[in-house]
């Protein structure tokens, strides 16, 4: 499926702008029913930056990521990865889904989950070789989960599962990492471990986009923010866009001042 649809107004976005961005979204509208979940959204995720996607529950954050991955089909809009249609760039994007969305009823070992990140190298019927196992184990080691390699994924805690998902994304060796609330429900040690891995990816020049709820850590963790509430509220560096005015606009005034912490 190709997602280079016409822009909302029918005009294609200028190609020279798009090639710069690991992920560029123009005029994106996604609807599951009558009311759009994401409406006419433009977003440019900058190379080598860590960007937080921020907005209240139901704001369309997960939908935006799913559209960027081709998991949901937009009504309209254009999505490009380094200026190219998504379909041909898909292997450059790694995704860690929101935890509640994953059903672990089927029996799968941790190491097999990480090996899924290598499926493009393996091919559909490819044999797992020692070097693939070595890569998968090294990725588990990076997230502190090496000792759980042969455990069933369903028998891990939520925070441990989250680390395994990150290991799978690392195994893929992508350029762009999309993570949907990786810190939700994890303890301080796991949060530290995950953020260290993400900062390491950034140091390697990778692009990291994270749906994030904890406003108190935004300044510490991120370079840029993208605020959404069905439509785009603001986008920019933390200094430019992570402002009280924009947060009030995104959360509709329901945001407690205390929740903003020292951030604004």
Ligand X SMILES: Nc1ncnc2c1ncn2[C@@H]1O[C@H](COP(=O)(O)OP(=O)(O)OP(=O)(O)O)[C@@H](O)[C@H]1O
Kindly tell me which of 31 and 121 has the beta carbon lying closer to ligand X.
Answer: 31
59 binds, among Mg ion, ligand X, none (CB under 5 to 8 A by kind): ligand X
CA distances from 230 to 20, 31, 40, 257 (A): 25, 10, 9, 23
Q: How far is the CB of 29 from Mg ion (least distance, A)?
A: 18
Considering the complex, what minimum distance in angstroms separates the CB of residue 57 from Mg ion?
8
Q: How far is the CB of 36 from ligand X (least distance, A)?
A: 9
Considering the complex, state which of residue 27 and residue 55 has its C-beta at the smaller distance from ligand X.
Answer: 55
Is residue 63 involved in binding Mg ion (CB under 5 A)? no
The residue ranges that bind ligand X (CB under 6 A) are 32, 37, 55, 57-63, 98
Q: Of 51, 39, 104, which is closest to residue 75 (Cα–Cα)?
A: 39
Question: Which is nearer to Mg ion, 51 or 62 (by Cβ)?
Answer: 62
Number of residues that bind Mg ion (CB under 5 A): 2
CB neighbour burial string for 87-122, b if at least 16 within 10 angstroms, e if fewer: eebeebbbbbbbbeeeeeeeeeebbbbbbebbeebe
* Contacts to Mg ion by CB under 5 A: 62, 98
């Amino acid at each position: 499926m190709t997602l280079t649809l016409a822009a909302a107004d029918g005009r294609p976005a200028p190609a020279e702008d798009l090639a710069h961005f690991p992920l560029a979204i123009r005029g994106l509208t996604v609807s599951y029913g009558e009311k759009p979940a994401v409406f006419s959204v433009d977003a440019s995720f900058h190379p080598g930056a860590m960007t937080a996607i921020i907005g209240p529950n139901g704001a369309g954050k997960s939908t935006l990521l799913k559209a960027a991955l081709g998991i949901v089909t937009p009504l309209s809009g254009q999505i490009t990865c380094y200026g190219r249609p998504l379909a041909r760039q898909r292997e450059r994007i790694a995704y860690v889904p929101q935890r509640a969305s994953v059903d672990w009823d089927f029996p799968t070992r941790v190491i097999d989950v990480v090996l899924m990140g290598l499926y493009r190298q393996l091919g559909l019927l490819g044999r797992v070789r020692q070097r693939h196992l070595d890569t998968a184990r090294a990725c588990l080691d990076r997230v502190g989960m090496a000792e759980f390699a042969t455990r069933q994924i369903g028998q891990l805690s939520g925070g441990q599962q989250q680390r395994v998902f990150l290991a799978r994304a690392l195994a893929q060796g992508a350029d762009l990492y999309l993570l949907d609330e990786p810190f939700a429900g994890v303890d301080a040690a796991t949060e530290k471990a995950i953020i260290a891995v993400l900062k390491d990816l950034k140091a390697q020049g990778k692009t990291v986009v994270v749906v994030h709820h904890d406003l108190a850590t935004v300044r510490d963790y991120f370079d840029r923010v993208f605020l959404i509430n069905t439509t785009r509220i603001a986008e920019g560096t933390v200094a430019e866009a992570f402002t009280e005015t924009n947060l009030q606009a995104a959360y509709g005034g329901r945001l407690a001042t205390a929740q903003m912490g020292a951030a604004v």
